[in-house]
Amino acid sequence: MTLNIGVIGTGMIGQTHIRCITQALSGAAIAAVSDANRDLAKEVANDLPDAEVFDAGQELIESDHVDAVIVTSWGSTHEEFVLASIAAGKPVFCEKPLATEAAACRRIIDAEVAHGSRLVQVGFMRRYDVAYRVLKTVVDSGEIGAPLIYYSGHRNPEVPGSYTREMAIVDTAVHDFDMARWLLGEELVGIRVLPAKRNSRGGELLDPLLMILESESGVLVNVETSVNIAYGYDIRGEVVGETGTASLADRNLVDIRSAGARSGRIPADWRERFVGAFDTELQEWIDAIASGVAPTGPNSWDGYAATVVCDAGVESLAAGDRVAIALGTKPALYDSH
Ligand code: NAP
């Protein structure tokens, strides 16, 4: 059976996912597209023989030809399309953020709980990266003892002029927050955001930022965002346990020895670093739906938790102080994930 997918938002990541589904993955086809910019949607559909173009996301969701929905429009529109997908009883893969406000995430959780089973998956693709998965296996095995500290470095060579101060937290560090919750298997309860001495390449941005978070059991999580660091896109992760440490290794296919030095490649951007993770993320989502089981990837609660941590981070940056993170009660629907 082929899963017929409708994509709302045919911008950069929407096109990336469409290419991935049509060129690399199996079991799914793009049956419909929609974008606020109809000309763009039509242009994208030109390469998709079976895709219908819809003026509105809502119509796409309700189409009988669409089995499942991918939401890749702007973050502020996600709530509307995810709620409509739940109302239609259709599985929906929503790029991060699940919604830009915690209250909106809560409305999605309420709707999904009322529906009675999981329909929503959120695009935290690092959970599908081979290296992160091995890191989690090592942590869960107990080989390094109980985790005490987690270091997470998120470095971009540069960011566009439209990048704001808060985006270092809500757009960049949000992935590190999700990794910390997933690796440690517990919630984060507090955050303090500290601007370092400014990188002169960053203009008015507060860059780099150092964030110190605490987990429920007292593990400290240290997130560094450096978004003008020039040398490449570098993702670091190290868990310090009671008896050992485990860290993401550099994964070079080729080791270069030249002019008295040994070197390897550093990815240019997130596409290069996480291309495999995006493929695995969508293939596992497609396979789960096709086999009739609920997706087991990042769920609405994970999306909600990430937004609450981001809100607390933005508040901490403004206040210059620690801010508590309060999630409230997790519905049983999300207990096993
Ligand atoms: P983008 O290139 O601006 O694409 C978004 C598209 O959505 C645009 O074509 C926009 O049209 C369209 N759109 C806006 N409102 C809409 C609506 N109501 N209905 C239908 N289409 C609408 O942005 P992007 O970089 O692809 O990012 C999209 C989302 O993916 C964001 O939430 C972003 O955070 C997320 N993302 C996640 C990752 C990841 O690592 N997981 C990476 C990149 C992006 P107009 O521009 O014409 O208004």
Domain boundaries, the chain: 3-126+276-299, 128-274+306-324
Tell me how far the alpha carbon of residue 70 lies from the centroid of ligand 1, in angstroms.
Answer: 11
Nearest Cα residue to atom 16 of ligand 1 = 36
The three-class DSSP label of residue 138 is helix
pLDDT in tens, 81-103: 999 999 999 999 999 999 999 99
**pLDDT(288) > 90:** yes
Residues 157 and 232 sit within 8 Å (Cβ to Cβ): yes
Nearest Cα residue to atom 3 of ligand 1 = 11
Tell me how far the alpha carbon of residue 14 lies from the centroid of ligand 1, in angstroms.
Answer: 7
Tell whether ligand 1 has an atom less than 6 A from the beta carbon of residue 20. no
pLDDT attached to residue 17: 97
Write down the mean pLDDT value for the chain: 96
**pLDDT(253) > 90:** no
Q: Which CATH superfamily is domain 3-126+276-299 in?
A: NAD(P)-binding Rossmann-like Domain (3.40.50.720)
Tell whether ligand 1 has an atom less than 6 A from the beta carbon of residue 297. no
Tell me how far the alpha carbon of residue 335 lies from the centroid of ligand 1, in angstroms.
Answer: 30
**Per-residue DSSP letter, 232:** -
Tell me how far the alpha carbon of residue 162 lies from the centroid of ligand 1, in angstroms.
Answer: 14
Question: Which ranges in the chain belong to alpha helices (H)?
Answer: 12-19, 38-45, 57-62, 78-87, 102-115, 130-141, 167, 174-184, 270-290, 300-319
Q: Tokens for 180, please give them.
A: 């910390």
Given ligand 1 and candidates 7, 8, 10, 13, which is best to mutate, with the most ligand atoms within 8 Å of its CB? 13
Tell whether ligand 1 has an atom less than 6 A from the beta carbon of residue 96. yes
Q: How far apart are CA 278 and CA 295, in angstroms?
A: 15
Tell whether ligand 1 has an atom less than 6 A from the beta carbon of residue 58. no
The three-class DSSP label of residue 52 is strand
pLDDT attached to residue 69: 98
Tell me how far the alpha carbon of residue 74 lies from the centroid of ligand 1, in angstroms.
Answer: 4
At residue 131 the predicted structure's pLDDT band, cuts being 50, 70 and 90, is: very high
**pLDDT(337) > 60:** no
Q: How far apart are CA 270 and CA 68, in angstroms?
A: 26
Q: Tokens for 200, please give them.
A: 């002169």
**CATH class of the 128-274+306-324 domain in this structure:** alpha beta
Tell whether ligand 1 has an atom less than 6 A from the beta carbon of residue 103. no
At residue 254 the predicted structure's pLDDT band, cuts being 50, 70 and 90, is: confident
Tell me how far the alpha carbon of residue 286 lies from the centroid of ligand 1, in angstroms.
Answer: 21
pLDDT attached to residue 1: 83
Segment 192-215 shows an average pLDDT of 97
Q: Which of 28, 96, 132 is nearest to 309 (CA)?
A: 96
Q: How far apart are CA 19 and CA 30, in angstroms?
A: 10
Start-to-end Cα distance in the chain: 27
Segment 225-246 shows an average pLDDT of 98
Tell whether ligand 1 has an atom less than 6 A from the beta carbon of residue 73. yes
Q: How many C-beta atoms surround the C-beta of residue 245 within 10 A?
A: 15
Segment 186-209 shows an average pLDDT of 97
pLDDT attached to residue 250: 83
**pLDDT(267) > 60:** yes
Tell whether ligand 1 has an atom less than 6 A from the beta carbon of residue 275. no
The three-class DSSP label of residue 309 is helix
Tell whether ligand 1 has an atom less than 6 A from the beta carbon of residue 56. no
pLDDT attached to residue 140: 98
Q: Which of 15, 54, 24 is nearest to 36 (CA)?
A: 54
CA-based diameter of the chain, in Å? Answer: 64
Burial of 227 (0-12, 13-18, 19+ CB in 10 A): buried
Q: How far apart are CA 78 and CA 105, in angstroms?
A: 10
Query: How many Cα neighbours within 13 Å face the side chain of 200?
Result: 0
Tell whether ligand 1 has an atom less than 6 A from the beta carbon of residue 290. no
Tell whether ligand 1 has an atom less than 6 A from the beta carbon of residue 35. yes
Tell whether ligand 1 has an atom less than 6 A from the beta carbon of residue 283. no
